[in-house]
Amino acid sequence: MKYFKKTTVLTEKPDDINVVIMGRKTWESIPEKFRPLPGRINCVLTRDKNFEDEWCVSFNSLDSCLKDIENMKNIWKVFIIWGAQIYNQVLKDSRLEKIYLTQVKWDFGCDVFFDGVPENFQQESCSEAINEWWIEFQFDVWKQK
């Protein structure tokens, strides 16, 4: 979480801010005491036209969200942070510049999966393996060729 927070909060200029985009289920999975994610504009994508939450901005599509973000001032970066459907949609989008991928070397018996890094990306960096408890993971950054 420390790496995630640092990556999604830090900006080049003090007046800039980053945007995090996530699906509604992801938003609701964040414990209320941690919502909104501080130091970032929190955007939630949902098909539920009645969804409202005072701590985030909601949109019915990724395109409408990105159009609104284009009109905002002082935005440094936009991060898609969770949601398999959103991830897999964005992987096909030509505007995607980088992928920050945490590789967790453990089988959690998941039922939702990331489609994988597209062929038009190359690895920019890779951390050494980190072990916490019994779980090994690493942080990779992929950049569009």
For the purposes of burial, counting CB atoms within 10 Å of the CB of 45, is it exposed (0-12), middle (13-18) or buried (19 or more)? buried
Question: Quick one: which H or E segment has residue 76?
Answer: strand 75-82
Determine the Cα–Cα distance for residues 55 and 113; give it in Å rounded to an integer.
Answer: 28
Residues 6+ apart with CB under 8 A from 6: none
**Predicted confidence band of residue 137 (pLDDT cuts 50, 70, 90):** very high
pTM of the model: 0.90
- Looking at residue 14, its pLDDT comes to 93
Lowest mean pLDDT of 5-14, 72-81, 104-113, 123-132, name the range. 104-113
For the purposes of burial, counting CB atoms within 10 Å of the CB of 81, is it exposed (0-12), middle (13-18) or buried (19 or more)? buried
Domains of the chain (ranges; CATH) run: 1-94 (3.40.430.10), 97-145 (no CATH)
Average pLDDT over residues 101-130: 90
* pLDDT surpasses 90 at 97: yes
- Looking at residue 66, its pLDDT comes to 96
Q: Which of 98, 79, 100, 80 is nearest to 89 (CA)?
A: 80
